[in-house]
Amino acid sequence: MCAFRPLRFAPIATALAGAPQATPARAEAPPRPLAQREFLQPCKAVGAGWFYIPGTATCVRVAAYVKADHRSRSSPKELFIEADRNQTGPLLTVYTARLPYDRPMERSLNELKAFVHTATETDLGVVGTTVALKSQLESPPRRPSDLTDEFNRTGARTLLEQATVTIAGFTAGYRPSFFDFPTASLSYTTAYASETNTNVVAYTGRVSRTIDATLSLEDGTARNVVDRAWGEYKDSRAPNVVAALDGRFDWGAVHVAAASRPVHAFAPTGFGEQGSATGFAATAALEHWFDLPFGMAGDVLLSASSTRGGLDYLNASNYPADFAISRSGRVYLTEGYSFVASYLHKWTKEIRTVVTASKFQTRLDTDTFRLRTEGLLLQAALEYSPVRGFTTGLELNLFQDSARGFESSVSQSHAANQYLTGVLYARRKF
């Protein structure tokens, strides 16, 4: 799901001009049938799968991704971190309890993503566009009694997945964050790594033949993780500033990124407390693919991320907020880090296995409490691809979560949770 990048190919008009010229005899030949003249011609200058729109110099490519899965978990228990506030400031309670009655232990999800990409040669260069929609149907709904979220209540929704325009290295629109690594995990279930779409205005330039550099201004709203008792973000138009380097080589890919995140906070359930701070996030990822004897192949992925004031950058957004604002108006930011290590082994053209280990830790120290959380996710999957573009598989996940809260030097609460999930899935690329 990468945005269209600047293309290096000869102008379409020049390519057409280079075609053999018609002789008078051929000019007198009867015209081709309309259906034949309107047939989509391959746009080889752009790449495989691209076609000219009849009567235009615009190339188009259409793609679709379909997946279906059934997920079941072994335990009805869940770890809860309950935020609170009184006249002294923010407080918390940590405990383990049974899932609410309307939270299903099993569910099925069907998802369709449809993409339309275009590329048009203009006097300013190649203009590329991407528009994509995502439709989901989940059964049973996650929380049928949730009156504030239609998807939780009905299990059905259609969302904008991507809408971007690119020209001369500039990208504007709604798309995956440039902070994220496109293959954050080789597993089916996303590990503890960032995976967020947002509004961006960015410029990507080529540093060398294999390395690109990007500077991106991104809407941070999609990444906000808050609890009203601890504080909320004030309306602010200041964007997150993301800088990234991406390298792609014959042996793999490298990604390094950093983000600056302004935090303007207030406490809606307090006494009018307000404050500001500056958060950040950083990530580095390496993917290496290689051939093995007897026709086998391997793919290794390693990534590490850290943050201060941005839990979504770790994909650890349930634990439970980016910050807490004190009675004096001081903003305390949650700090954390995550690691992912994944290995895909291709035994044959049709069969492969994937194993992944992922971990995160966070800490939040305020003048009224301290909170420590951590999570471990172990994943193993067996996949079968009988035909190109189609994969079916079985994945097992072990989740281990724990939290420890300190409200004074002698008062503390601790809770931990562990459960298994099994996922049967199939996905198809068109």
The pLDDT score that the predictor gives to residue 76 is 92
Q: What tokens appear for 381 in the block? A: 């999957």
Residue 55 has pLDDT above 60, yes or no: yes
Contacts of 55 (CB under 8 A, 6+ apart): 38
Return the higher-pLDDT residue of 16 and 224: 224
pTM (predicted TM-score): 0.86
pLDDT band at 6 (very low <50, low <70, confident <90, very high): very low
Read off the pLDDT of residues 94-105 as tens digits, 9 standing for 90 and up: 999 998 877 889
For residue 15, the model assigns a pLDDT of 34
- pLDDT-based confidence at residue 38 (cuts at 50, 70, 90): low
Q: What is the CA radius of gyration of the chain?
A: 25
The CATH T-level fold of domain 12-29+57-429 is Porin (2.40.160)
- CA atoms 330, 227, 267, 89: torsion sign: negative
Beta bridge partners of 323: 333
Domain boundaries, the chain: 12-29+57-429
* Paired tokens of 230: 């601890």
Mean pLDDT of the chain: 88
pLDDT of residue 408: 66
Percent of the chain with pLDDT over 90: 72
Q: How far apart are CA 95 and CA 209, in angstroms?
A: 53
The amino acid that residue 104 corresponds to is P
**pLDDT (tens digit, 9 = 90+) per residue, 201-252?**
999 999 999 999 999 999 999 999 999 999 999 977 789 999 999 999 999 9
- The mean pLDDT of 261-278, rounded to a whole number, is 91
